[in-house]
Amino acid sequence: MTVYWDTSALIHFYNDGRKAEIAGITRTHTLSEMFSAYTGRGVWFTKPDGTVVLRRVSMKLAAVIIKDIRSRLSFVDLSPDEVLIAIQNANKLGAQGGRIHDLMHAAAADKAKADELWTLDRNDFAGLGSTPVKQL
């Protein structure tokens, strides 16, 4: 089975110590989204005692994490024309504002012919593509 990973799913698996399970496809932009999440607002980590905390990491550590995740994935990217087609369809799909990023993930998952798109919030992808969405 070929899994397309959105950014939230990758961060979730990595932070839960499940990086060995990360395999499949994403788009190149996901790497920069991950870096932004880790170094910007921060991401949720589960401490050994089970406490969940929001933590920002250094740019150096974020780069190490991204390099590790990058080695576990294949990448599919949209051409400029494919991005334009998706943008032209955004209105009828309700992909306004930040939801455009979800639309690009959905379009990339469709292009890759992935079996499932994994995410933490299936609602982000409702009606955006034909790849079945699995909420983790």
Q: What is the mean pLDDT of residues 100-115?
A: 96
* Element holding 37 (H helix, E strand): helix 29-39
Task: Please answer whether residues 127 and 115 qualify as being in contact, where contact means their C-beta atoms are separated by less than 8 angstroms.
Answer: no
- Confirm if 22 and 72 have CB atoms less than 8 A apart: yes
Enumerate residues 6+ apart whose C-beta is below 8 A from 111: 76, 78, 82
Residue 9 has pLDDT above 90, yes or no: yes
Mean pLDDT value of segment 19-48: 93
Average pLDDT of span 104-116 = 97
Which fold, 3-120? Rossmann fold (3.40.50)
* Site of tokens 């079945």: 132
pLDDT in tens, 72-90: 999 999 999 999 999 999 9
What number is the average pLDDT over the span 18-32? 96
pTM surpassing 0.75? yes
Report whether 106 contacts 129 (CB < 8 A): yes
